[in-house]
Amino acid sequence: MSATFISCNNSENSKNGDRGALASSAAEKTYVAPGEHDEFYAFISGGFSGQLSVYGLPSGRLLKVIPVFSQDAEKAWGYNEETKPMLNTSHGFIPWDDAHHPDISQTAGKLDGRWVFINGNNTPRIAKIDLTTFETTEIIEVPNSAGNHSSSFVTENTEYVVAGTRFSVPVPQRDMPINEYKGNFKGALTFISVEPEEGHMDIKFQLMMPGFDYDLAHPGRGKSHGWFFFSTYNTEEANTLMEVNSSQNDKDFIAAVNWKKIEEYVNNGGGKKVPANYAHNIYDEETHTATSTMKKEVLTVDPLEVPGAVFLLPTPKSPHGCDVDPTGEYIIGNGKLSADLTVHSYSKMIDAIENEKFDGDAYGIPILKFEDVLAGTVKQAGLGPLHTEFDGKGNGYTSFFISSEVVKWNVETQEVIDRKPSYYSVGHVMIPGGNSAEPFGKYVVSMNKITKDRYLPTGPEVTHSAQLYDISGEKMELLLDFPTIGEPHYAAGIPADIIKPNSKKIYKLDENKHEHATLSNGDARVERDGNEVHVYMTMIRSHFTPDNIEGIKVGDKVYFHVTNHEQDYDVPHGISMIGANTSELLIMPGQTETFVWEPKQPGVWPFYCTDFCSALHQEMQGYVRVSPADSNIELSWSLGED
Amino acid sequence: MKAIIKFFLLTILIAGISACRNSSEAEEEDISASTEQASEERQGQAFVKDDVSEPTVLDIAIQSEDHSTLVAAVQTAELENALVNAGPLMVFAPTDEAFEALPEGTVDDLLKPENKNKLSLILKHHVTPGKYDKEFLKKFKKLGQASDLSVPVEVKGEDVYVGGAKIIASVPAGNGIVHVVDKVIIPEN
């Protein structure tokens, strides 16, 4: 036995020798020289981090973490007064969510790079991120939904971003026995319209489907534009021990929704308005302030009221990913408990609908015959297929969770072309534009759930990771591992050239409409209103105006409204006050932000700039004198006076 | 009942076997184009050095002296990586004796390279996504296997039969559970 062991080691050594040359070729392919830019942006969700990370490809360099659903002390997101309303919901202020499926806006089926949409799973919400500022500018809560998973995918012209519920729930929510689920719970598929200029979101309608679990979704495109496809599982409508009870049916469904037909129905007065309560939060770039509005009504649509709008396509084994190829002809069901991939044909689906080739119904919704919509099956492609993206050259790339690999296959012939292992347990995959009519099929990124020994260990919790494969040739080539923020759940990628020129450099000070902005130093001041004190402060290299404040008392609530007077690219300033029960502020040039400080002890307390802004950064500081509550010291403020 | 599973191999010996298996695998593949293939002999979840975590279903099969045929078959079909995944996986592991009970020549035939797909399908027919102990399995009428086919679950007295094979021992694993069975479960078609 020991002889075998040694001889194996020998062969390993000889291969190690070969690795040098091959590894250097991969290094060249991912090397972006200092000062040079990556070719693609990758927006990779942080899963349980609640945020969205921006990476460059092919280098895998982390460029920014955009706070979305979780408070971020670094950027004061959800800590400063301006952004707190962004995290408001019908359940109150929620400092966290589970961010899942970013999708970039499209025009005519192609990425237009205006916005990224992303869903919060836990307390159902959809966020919109503006790709000029790379900031979250809008969050809408989704009522009648729970576990907002089948989201946030856009239609071909970003007419809608959809949000499908994972959990079916009582609609309206009410106190009822859990075991009366079957037939009583509903699954809402929500179509949120996106206004073309500013991208403002508004719930157009909610399609109230049977109480299945809705897992993922993708839009029709090209010939199938006007349809949306949703994968379902738990068509058994079980409510306990789901790992057993929701896997009893050999086939679940992909629900095909003709949203154009429903839109027409709704535009003609169809649907039923029902009471609801959900937050709609908008961040205004000019006021640098978010507002939260509670909406009280939503329009629901019963699928049976719109004949010809909803059909069910039987699809084996609890399909997870539900992916549409760039031509719009093929709809792929990734049955996650299966070894096969199901490829449905849009044309055959239309033919089956026209000829009423039905195989019964579910709660009145026609079920199409499996054989009549099936284009083919990728047989024994791997274990546990999860998600398919496309390269625009006729190939699909599917992740297989259980067999931990990425498999390339031909969409027309359903033949497997290549397979490569992933390290380890790949979830979703991403090709830039891989969910559009025009993919950029140069790289595929796999997002892995487990890394174990892939990096230096950091205790029980080790980083998640993404892996980059070159897919420009017949065979895939693994180029790079890179660590990620949180769980890299899903991603959207886009050529850098589409959005790079639009990236904003500064906010114009003369366009600042913040209610508490201080646009000239002469306006810097401190005002008292009872025990509320408002400090109107400016900052510029390398001082605050004012930097000495007296007359604050224990028990006051002090609002620091701080305006950054810089008008140079990349000169933010920060500010924090000793003992403030909140984060720093990080204020971009031309922007105003506010934090609250409630001094509890008399004394002279300093504040300082927290962003290394300049050569005199360490001089950028000030003092606040805090006197006892019954003190009669007058408010005063100054800069440069003795 | 006699303990079916005996842990008799030293960890280092297992590591040695694993490395051998992988390097022979790598030789069969075209390594000209791929960095990751060239470095594969030291990578893969099966080769993570970990003597603290619970053994995987693959570890359990490798460490058992009654499953050398099954392990050889898994290696021939190159299914090792699937068995060290997060799972959860339930493996119905026929003993060497169960393989011997097949018609003469069957095993040798299946281990031939040209029958790799057939072997792979048969092996996947012994794997269920999920992790249920013997008692819990009594709740099922059937199980959906990784072969995409299902197998019936039958309860006879205290015994549980899956696809006609009787569970004679069960060993929990870190990523699932191994149920030792007395028969090879052959897919119907």
What is the DSSP code string of A480-526?
EEEEESS----EEEEEHHHHGGG------GGG---TT---SGGG-EE
Strand partners, A387: A399
Homologous superfamily in CATH for domain A514-638:
Cupredoxins -  blue copper proteins (2.60.40.420)
Q: What angle do CA A467, A469, A471 make, to 5 degrees?
A: 155
Q: Do A339 and B23 count as a contact with CB atoms less than 8 A apart?
A: no
Query: What per-residue confidence (pLDDT) applies to B37?
Result: 42
Q: Running DSSP on this structure, what letter comes out for residue B20?
A: H
The helix/strand count (H/E) of chain B reads as 9, 7
The phi and psi torsions of A10 (rounded to 5 degrees) equal -60, -45
Q: Which of A636, A630, A622 is nearest to A551 (CA)?
A: A636
Sheet harboring A385-390: ordered strands across?
A385-390, A395-400, A405-410, A416-421
Residue of B nearest to A19 (CA): B38
Pairing status of strand A201-209 against strand A289-301: parallel
Q: Where would I find the H helices in A131-269?
A: 242-245, 259-267
* A15: nearest CB among B41, B129, B140: B41
If phi > 0 it is left, if psi is from -120 to 50 it is alpha, else beta; for residue B158 that is: alpha
- For residues B180 and B171, is the Cβ–Cβ distance under 8 A? yes
Tell which residue, B88, B115, B177, has the closest CA to residue A401. Answer: B88
What count of other Cβ atoms lies within 10 Å of the Cβ of residue B9? 17
Q: pLDDT band for position B43 (50/70/90)?
A: low
Give the C-alpha separation, A154 to A309, whole Å. Answer: 19
Give the per-residue pLDDT at A366: 98
Class of domain A40-502: mainly beta
Q: What is the pLDDT of residues A405-432, one digit of tens each?
A: 999 999 999 999 999 999 988 999 999 9
Query: Predicted confidence band at A152 (pLDDT cuts at 50, 70, 90)?
Result: very high
Give dist(CA A91, CA A447) in Å, integer: 32
Between chain A and chain B, the number of residue pairs with CB atoms below 8 A apart is 123
Instruction: Specify whether the CB–CB gap between A368 and A353 falls below 8 A.
Output: yes
The backbone torsions φ and ψ at residue A205, rounded to the nearest 5 degrees and listed phi first, read -160, 160
- As a whole number of angstroms, the distance between CA B33 and CA A475 comes to 8
Residue B4 pLDDT? 41
Q: List the domain boundaries for chain A.
A: 40-502, 514-638
Nearest CB among A316, A404, A475 relative to B45 is that of: A404
Using the predicted structure, report yes or no on whether residue B5 has a pLDDT greater than 60.
no
State chain A's mean pLDDT as an integer. Answer: 94
Show the tokens assigned to B72: 């050889």
Strand A88-89 relative to strand A573-577, pairing: unpaired
Q: Which of B26, B35, B132 sits opposite A26 (nearest CB)?
A: B35
Tens digits of per-residue pLDDT, A505-521? 999 999 999 999 999 99
Q: Do domains A40-502 and A514-638 have the same CATH topology?
A: no
- CA distance linking residue A210 with residue A330, whole number of Å: 25
**Are B150 and A243 an interchain contact pair (Cβ–Cβ within 8 Å)?**
no
Find tokens 């109480």 and name the residue. A211
User: Does residue A259 contact residue A155 with C-beta atoms inside 8 Å?
Assistant: yes
Q: Most B CBs within 10 Å: which of A242, A249, A422, A452, as the mutation test of the B interface?
A: A452
State the best of B57, B85, B124, B143 to mutate against chain A, taking most chain A CBs within 10 Å: B85
Mean pLDDT of chain B: 79
Q: What is the mean pLDDT of residues A437-447?
A: 98
Nearest CB among A9, A12, A477 relative to B34 is that of: A477
Are A250 and B144 within 8 A, CB to CB?
A: yes
Nearest CA among A10, A17, A80 for reference residue A588: A80
Residue A335's pLDDT is 83
The Cα angle at residue A207 between residues A203 and A210, in degrees rounded to 5: 145
Per-residue b or e along A497-516, where b marks 16 or more CB atoms closer than 10 Å to that residue's CB: ebbeeeeeebbebeebebeb
More confident residue, B58 or A493: A493
**What pLDDT is stored for residue A243 in this prediction?**
77
Q: CA A158 → CA A193, A231, A391, B111, distances in Å?
A: 8, 20, 21, 53
**Each residue of A580-610: pLDDT tens digit?**
999 999 999 999 999 999 999 999 999 999 9
Domains and CATH numbers, chain B: 11-181 (2.30.180.10)
Distances in whole angstroms, Cα of residue A407 to Cα of each of A284, A514, A621, B171, B173: 44, 52, 57, 32, 28
Closest residue in B to A449 (Cα–Cα): B86
- ipTM greater than 0.85, yes or no? no
Put simply, the answer to whether B42 touches A12 (Cβ < 8 Å) is yes
| DSSP state, residue A210 | -
What is the rounded distance in angstroms from the CA atom of residue A163 to the CA atom of residue A151? 4
Position A13 pLDDT exceeds 60:
no
> Closest Cα to residue A617, out of A536, A539, A507?
A539
Instruction: For residues B20-29, give the mean pLDDT.
Output: 41
* Tens-digit pLDDT profile for residues A286-334: 999 999 999 999 999 999 999 999 999 999 888 898 999 999 999 999 8
> What single letter denotes the amino acid at residue B55?
P
Query: Minimal CA–CA distance to A42: which of A342, A442, A387?
Result: A442
Selected residues 382-421 of chain A with any CB under 8 Å from a CB in chain B: 383-384, 401-405, 420-421
